[in-house]
Homo-oligomer: A and B are copies of this chain.
């Protein structure tokens, strides 16, 4: 894998001079076309042996390209606060919008590489991590973020010679970092660790490219050529999702008969709110988070249910995220970006009033996305939820169902109420007409995204009181089980 690079190939000055001008011209031209086209963002992952010229590459890119549309995304060890969010959060947050180029230093490979260099990465760990990153990168690629992974490499001798040359002059010695110096001693281990990680994470949606770096001209030319390919080549073809059988209707067997009288309801409400307020104040909860997802039919009572929950919470501890029309910053990035913005922080509660399921509900039914897009969304969503859950989030998803008759009754109630009629829009009536389509989409969603780490709970809401207590009880029992001192 590294043989070619460790032969320290060079590019003679004459060839480089002939290459340089057309390459620069082409790159900056392509950059402006990208800005016009906005069909993709580029993520250039800069990794490699310390002392191979990664830092110099950034200066080069900023000189060759229009730097106003290039963003350097550099990540160090996660800070105390960053550790309270899922690991991929900070990379998601920094994603450039389509039309722009992001240059990534200290990427999601850095933690893995550190462990591999130190010989503390088992094959099983590597396999698990690689699969996770493969999915992350494949999702980005499918959503128009071209991930180009460059590994800067050179022979041990060339690395050592470069350090010694810079070190000899006090005016350039600052360019040699402690990490550069460590490479000399640990070259074999670093090389072996890097090879394992690169082989495990090389895949068709985001392959690795080794850049020979002993010779500056060779390093520059290779970098520029890779970037040019990313700018001009067709977007990677997303492998089609296996066809799936439409799911059976899971909403028809709902028991919506039992009602709750008002005194019992109020007693139960206070009881469960009390338990909820205690459950989120335990020391155990401080290393967990709570994510609640509310989806459901119009007028099924999402808002009222959410208020019964937040009533028991400290306002500093929770955030409600109402999901509506995306902003232009959101539209210019992969679909899930707008939800990663609101990733849970340990010790806190996030309540989504509608959610990422919009993709397989309204966007599917209204044909705002292609069939290929919503079909692959099921897997992407499950993976996305897993990222949050594995970091400590307790995730519950509620589907609030209502019968057609009760919905009609509530619509009419809204029409008659001067301060509720604003809640009723033409879309609500239209959605009623589309009920069969929504029902099919809902059944598929419940079938394909119901998984142990983030189960769906279907709640019949014709009896509002019963429904609110059902939600609170489900939530509190799960929360208590997951945060019991022995759990």
Contacts and interface: CB of A to CB of B under 8 A. Distances in A.
Interface of A: 21-22, 24-25, 27-29, 32, 55, 58-59, 62-64, 66-69, 72, 74-76, 79-82, 105-106, 169-175, 177, 267, 270-271, 273-274, 277-278, 303-304, 306-307, 310-312, 314-317, 319-320, 322, 324, 327-329, 353, 418-419, 422-423
Contacts of A63: 303-304, 307
A237 B170 CA distance: 61
A72 B267 contact: no
A322 B67 CA distance: 8
Nearest to A269: B171
B59 A311 contact: yes
Nearest to A324: B68
Contacts of A327: 327-329
Copy number in the complex reads 2
A268 to B, nearest CB: 10
A310 B174 CA distance: 13
Contact of A270 (B27, B172, B311, B314): B172
A62 to B, nearest CB: 6
Contacts of A172: 270, 274
| Chain A interface mostly | helix
Contacts of A267: 171
A396 to B, nearest CB: 20
Contacts of A316: 74-76, 105-106
A68 B171 contact: no
Contacts of A75: 316
Given A74-B316, A310-B59, A328-B328, A24 B419 contact: yes
Contacts of A170: 274
A204 to B, nearest CB: 29
Given A62-B303, A74-B316, A76-B316, 17 more contacts: A22-B418, A25-B419, A59-B307, A62-B307, A63-B303, A63-B304, A66-B423, A68-B322, A68-B324, A69-B322, A72-B315, A80-B80, A171-B274, A172-B270, A174-B312, A328-B328, A329-B329
6 contacts: A27-B419, A32-B422, A62-B320, A72-B319, A80-B81, A172-B274
Contacts of A353: 67-68
A67 B29 contact: no
Contacts of A105: 315-316
Nearest to A105: B315
Contacts of A55: 311, 315
Nearest to A58: B315
A74 B314 CA distance: 9
Given A28-B422, A74-B315, A316-B74, A171 B62 contact: no
A58 B306 CA distance: 12
Contacts of A64: 419
